[in-house]
Amino acid sequence: MIEFLRTIAQAAGEKIRSAYYQRNLNIEHKGEIDLVTEVDIACEKIIVEAIKENFPTDSILAEESAETSGSSARRWIIDPVDGTTNLAHRFPFVAVSIGVEENGRLTYGVVYNPILDELFEAQLGKGAYLNGAPIQVSNIDTNKNALIATGFPYDRWQRGEYYIREYLAFMQRCQAVRRCGSAAIDLCYCACGRVDGFFERKLHPWDMAAGSLILTEAGGKVTRFDGSRWHYRDDTILASNSKLHREMQTILAHAHD
């Protein structure tokens, strides 16, 4: 299974890599600032067709097409291009994200950035890896020494001030805040210790499923903003190296006081 995941992620990644160096991408708008390109559609087709050929009874939840239900207990959760806006601007934080859920539990996850040629992967109970080498979260235990990642939802034109309060709450209490524009990559960067925590609102299952498993297999923690149990269909995610989790939760709880 993990070899199959690598193969389809890299096949889609090759399509992204080729498009990254093109001058003229066919870009459309799903919303005011929510983009989709011909690459998103092509990559999703590569992945979905391979799954249907090899696992025809499985369910599929993918960003650019309708959810399909199969007779098996397995579901594939796919973001063919996480970071479409980045791709459109040649900003190199772009990833293929594929998670696998079996009997209600996330069991496999692969996130591949073809521009940097970084393949993150995890299998439930087997640890997390970057290009074949084991990874683990950082040991930072206080927010003042932490590098935190975040992102802003697509309704930020309408609710920007609300989201900025949460950003500001961390900016005033941590070493720095970063926003790379790909939640899947943010979760993987937390998994390998490049950042120490991550939070974001209004994400979709395909943004988070694979990355959340990679993070927890690397020793991290994932909850809702309030610290309660998280599911990939939830609309908030708080992720950390575990040691920062309670402090991050407290900061979010008081960000709008």
Sign of CA dihedral 46, 51, 54, 57: negative
Q: Is 104 exposed, middle or buried (0-12, 13-18, 19+ CB in 10 A)?
A: exposed
Fold of 143-253: D-Maltodextrin-Binding Protein; domain 2 (3.40.190)
Per the DSSP assignment, residues forming a β-bridge with 61 are 77
Q: pTM score, two decimals? A: 0.94
143-253 has the same fold as 2-134? no
Categorize the per-residue pLDDT at 14 as very low, low, confident or very high, splitting at 50, 70 and 90. Answer: very high
Instruction: Decide if domain 2-134 falls under CATH 3.30.540.10.
Output: yes
Residue 54 burial (CB count, 10 A): 11
Q: Which residue has the tokens 């709450």?
A: 169
Per the DSSP assignment, residues forming a β-bridge with 177 are 148
pLDDT in tens, 56-72: 999 999 988 889 999 99
pLDDT in tens, 16-61: 999 898 866 766 655 444 456 788 889 999 999 999 999 999 999 9
If phi over 0 gives left and psi between -120 and 50 gives alpha, with beta otherwise, what is residue 115? alpha
pLDDT in tens, 148-181: 999 987 776 777 799 999 999 999 999 999 999 9
Rounded Cα gap, residues 178 and 250, in angstroms:
20
Phi, psi at 231, each rounded to 5°: -135, 150
Domain ranges of the chain: 2-134, 143-253
